Amino acid sequence: MKPLADCRLYAFVDTAFLHGRTPEAVAQQLCDGGADLIQLRAKTSSPDEIRSMAEVIVPITKKANVGLVINDHLAIAREAGAELCHLGQEDFFDAGLNHVAQLSTRNSQLRIGLSTHAPEQAQRAVAAGADYIAIGPVYATGTKPTAKPVTLEYVRWAAANVTVPWFAIGGINLSNLDDVLAAGAERVCVVSAILNTTDVAKACAEFRRRL
């Protein structure tokens, strides 16, 4: 995969938005559309189910030189050969961790991304050695209906202060993408605005073109 700093479009294989498609088919379409990173997110699936999905997606992403991110499950990311694992605040800091070195990733190539919802969380995540952080949710989003939007103010703050690669996430679509970029974002995560379309590759390619 390309360096994180060069990644612009972070897409998702989210099992809540498959709409009858297989995870591997969606992964292939995202690769065809130009995604730089793809996260496998399966909140309602068992670890065994997630492991099986990861195992069929990894060959697709590796062939396309796209980084695969496993959400929540560090062991599965390692076992499947994914390049990255993404953890939420509750999975990392609330679990008593304060540095990614505690995850015993030093002897592997696995990189760690952390979710952040406020400047102090971003500062803490960077100090904890996160390889990248997510900034959001920028807008209200159906993927996290209870999460309060952080608005473009947090995006502007991140543009001025965050020193590691960061991705704006949450309710980003083609209608508001220009506003997010104008606020200083260079990288975005997109879930439903791509996965809720009938042509995933085409939707992905349009985001890629706009970025």
| pLDDT 10s digits, 60-78 | 999 999 999 999 999 999 9
Domain carrying residue 8: 4-210
pLDDT for res 124: 96
pTM of the complete model: 0.95
pLDDT for res 146: 73
Residue ranges for the chain with pLDDT beneath 70: 105-107, 143-145
Q: How many independent structural domains does the chain possess?
A: 1
pLDDT for res 181: 98
Asked if 26 and 1 touch (Cβ cutoff 8 Å), the reply is: no
Q: 60-92 in b/e burial notation, b at 16+ Cβ within 10 A?
A: bbeebebbbbbbbbbebbbebbbbbbbbbbebb
Q: What is the CATH number for 138? A: 3.20.20.70
pLDDT for res 161: 98
pLDDT for res 105: 57
pLDDT for res 103: 85
The Cα–Cα gap between 39 and 12 comes to 5
